[in-house]
């Protein structure tokens, strides 16, 4: 699961959706530069779902 979250963070950075200063490890996720609060809340909900094994919530990030 940790690798999945790290890859998701990498995709967000590559697509310019978060700042390149963002990062993810097995113990934390830090995302900078989100465009607005609703976007931050949606992304937090998706990452929270992934932490608990509900990876379908992250399909918005593509392959």
DSSP string, 13-32: HHTTSS-TT-EE-SS-EE--
Q: So what's the pLDDT on residue 57?
A: 54
Range of the domain at 17: 2-61
What pLDDT was estimated at residue 59?
58
pLDDT band at 19 (very low <50, low <70, confident <90, very high): very high
pTM of the model: 0.66
Please give the tally of structural domains in the chain.
Answer: 1
In contact, 24 and 36? CB cutoff 8 Å: no
Query: pLDDT per residue over 20-61, tens digit each?
Result: 999 887 778 888 998 888 888 888 887 777 777 766 655 555
């Amino acid at each position: 699961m940790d690798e999945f979250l790290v890859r998701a963070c990498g995709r967000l950075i590559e697509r310019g959706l978060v700042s390149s200063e963002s990062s993810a490890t097995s113990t934390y996720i830090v995302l900078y530069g989100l465009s607005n609060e609703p976007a931050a809340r949606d992304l937090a909900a998706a990452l929270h779902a992934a932490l608990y094994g509900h990876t379908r919530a992250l399909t918005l990030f593509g392959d």
